[in-house]
Amino acid sequence: MSVLTIKDVTKLFPGGTKAVDSFSLEVADGELVCLLGPSGSGKSTLLRMVGGFEQPTSGLITIDGQDITHMPPEKRPTGMVFQSHALWTHMDVFKNLAFGLKLRRLPADEIKRRVEAVLELVGLGGYGSRRVTQLSGGQQQRVALARSLVLEPKILLLDEPFASLDQHLRERLREEVRDIQQRVGITTLFVTHGQDEALSMADRIVVMRDGRTEQIDRPDVVYRDPQTPFVAGFIGTMNLIEGTVSNGTFTRASFSHPLAVADGPATLAIRPEALDLVAAEPGAAKVHRVTDYGTHGLLDLNLPDGTRVKAMVDHPGQFKNGQGVNLAPRAVAAYRDNKQIFRSEA
């Protein structure tokens, strides 16, 4: 049973910039929470504060109720996997994994047993005598994960662990890591700027921006019901159309859509897959480009004032460049003053 609690944590960098701004989060036992945000959103700083490599300016971090806010990293029950794997290249795989156990003065046969067990767990049984530099990028990252897991930390911290790997390997490894995390049942905090990673691995996603939380929710909720235009634009592809509402109708150039909110400016959010197109001349928009992906097609549309809109269609062959279409969204959300003011489901 390990619960991580972060309460009102603020980190000021020299010069006064707020890397993290009164951030709070509770990670439940066995849960995998993803910190997702663009670079500079403070997610890595937050993770490093949990690991003990940065000191919060104010706030409280506890694990199972124990205050660890100002504990040095070597005393904390946390295990961190670094983006650059940070394996010790002057040691072989076994020694990398055994180092922490030796510091705990475990007997040699116990160390051997645990190292071999964890190597099996990450699918690298028998690799103990390999030099770190002889391993592929994916294997190195697995050893780095094993190095943390072998010490059975209460909280596992992952700092963009797949960022240096190629796309194919990244997808395979994130499934593996998710499997291992669930098998071990370890409470995990995961930092990434890749939404695919967050959506496919996390129990909950924390979308961060400028050191603050934009939204904390399950991945499907974050995708379907983004609470701010930033989240809407950051997760998946989203058409964000700025316009005005008057008398229950949203208007941008030649495009209009009924929207039951008070008059004023608004940002309309429509997923490309929730936007139906009806051929019409002259139509509200013109087809700018048709891209056929085989399974589906993606259309780039232009409103008369130049606003770009993307739409996903099943049969891209029906459309051609320059053709006029009318837009018929099946589901929309609307934002004003950085807050959601309307949402309809398909």
The residues of the shown chain that bind another protein, judged by CB under 8 A, are 51-53, 72-75, 78-80, 82-84, 86-90, 99-100, 103-104, 144, 147-148, 151
CB of 238 to another protein, least distance (A): 35
Strand-strand pairing, 339-343 and 297-302? unpaired
**Is the separation of the CB atoms in 181 and 161 below 8 Å?**
no
Closest contact distance (angstroms) between CB of 103 and another protein is 5
Q: Return the number of the residue (76 or 310) whose C-beta is nearest another protein.
A: 76
The DSSP code for 92 is: B
The encoded tokens of residue 17 equal 């910039």
Q: Please, which residue, 72 or 294, has the CB nearer to another protein?
A: 72
Cβ at position 65, least distance to another protein in Å = 22
The sign of the CA dihedral 342, 265, 280, 275 is negative
Shortest separation between residue 75's beta carbon and another protein, angstroms: 8
Cβ atoms of 213 and 206 closer than 8 Å: yes
What DSSP string runs through 119-187? HHHTT-TT-TTSBGGGS-HHHHHHHHHHHHHTT--SEEEEESTTTTS-HHHHHHHHHHHHHHHHHHT-E
Specify whether the CB–CB gap between 29 and 188 falls below 8 A.
no
Tell me the closest approach of the beta carbon of residue 80 to another protein, in angstroms: 5
324 neighbors 281 (Cβ within 8 angstroms): yes
Cα gap 71→120, rounded to integer Å: 32
Q: What is the CA radius of gyration of the chain?
A: 24
Instruction: Closer to another protein by CB, 184 or 341: give it.
Output: 184
Place of tokens 């944590």: 9
Nearer to another protein, 103 or 279 (CB): 103
Distances (CA, A) of 134 to 65, 110, 130, 331: 42, 26, 7, 52
Which is closer to another protein, CB of 52 or CB of 329? 52
Q: Nearer to another protein by C-beta: 69 or 83?
A: 83
Closest approach of Cβ 87 to another protein, in Å? 8
CB of 116 to another protein, least distance (A): 18
Q: How far is the CB of 139 from another protein (least distance, A)?
A: 17
| CB nearer another protein, residue 79 or residue 272 | 79
Residue with smaller CB distance to another protein, 22 or 83: 83
Could you tell me the sign of the dihedral formed by the alpha carbons of 316, 321, 326, 328, in that order? Answer: positive
